[in-house]
């Protein structure tokens, strides 16, 4: 089953085809988000400061996660492409663009909601 989602970043509207499956039921996690960029990520990409990507210890690469700042109420959807953070209490590392979208420039208390993985061109989930 495929779901359609729309993300709005300023005036840019991006439409994604997300794969919804029982292994990616929406689940929440909370903790502290930190900021990182400029490094090569565990999946071989780079953590570009302007990208909406993030690091998580266990979620498969390609998983989309909604990150909500519990203080400001602002949220952003990011794609997991790295491992980390490896500091107690921290649940996700965001690029500067992701952090800025939720109103943070350093550490922020956040809630994560796992949305799913993007499907590849053949309509099958990407390996992660």
**pLDDT tens track for 101-114:** 999 989 999 999 99
| 18 within domain boundaries | no
Q: Tell me whether residue 59 is in a domain.
A: yes
Q: How confident is the model at residue 53 (pLDDT cuts 50, 70, 90)?
A: very high
Average pLDDT over residues 68-93: 96
CATH code (residue 31): 2.40.40.10
Residue 99 lies in a domain: yes
Q: pTM value?
A: 0.73
Is residue 126 included in any domain, yes or no?
no
Position 1 in a domain = no
Give dist(CA 12, CA 3) in Å, integer.
Answer: 20
CB-based contact 63:114 (threshold 8 Å): yes
């Amino acid at each position: 089953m495929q779901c359609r989602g729309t993300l709005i970043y300023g005036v840019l509207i991006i439409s994604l085809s997300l794969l919804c499956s029982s292994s990616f039921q929406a689940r929440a996690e909370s903790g502290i988000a930190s900021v990182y960029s400029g490094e090569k990520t565990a999946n071989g990409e780079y953590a570009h400061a302007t990208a909406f990507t993030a690091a998580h210890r266990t979620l498969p690469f390609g998983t989309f996660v909604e990150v909500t700042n519990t203080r400001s109420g602002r949220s952003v959807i990011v794609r997991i492409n790295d491992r980390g953070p490896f500091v107690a209490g921290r649940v996700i590392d965001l690029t500067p663009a992701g952090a800025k979208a939720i109103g943070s420039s350093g550490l922020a208390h956040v809630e994560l909601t796992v949305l799913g993985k993007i499907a590849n061109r053949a309509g099958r989930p990407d390996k992660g």
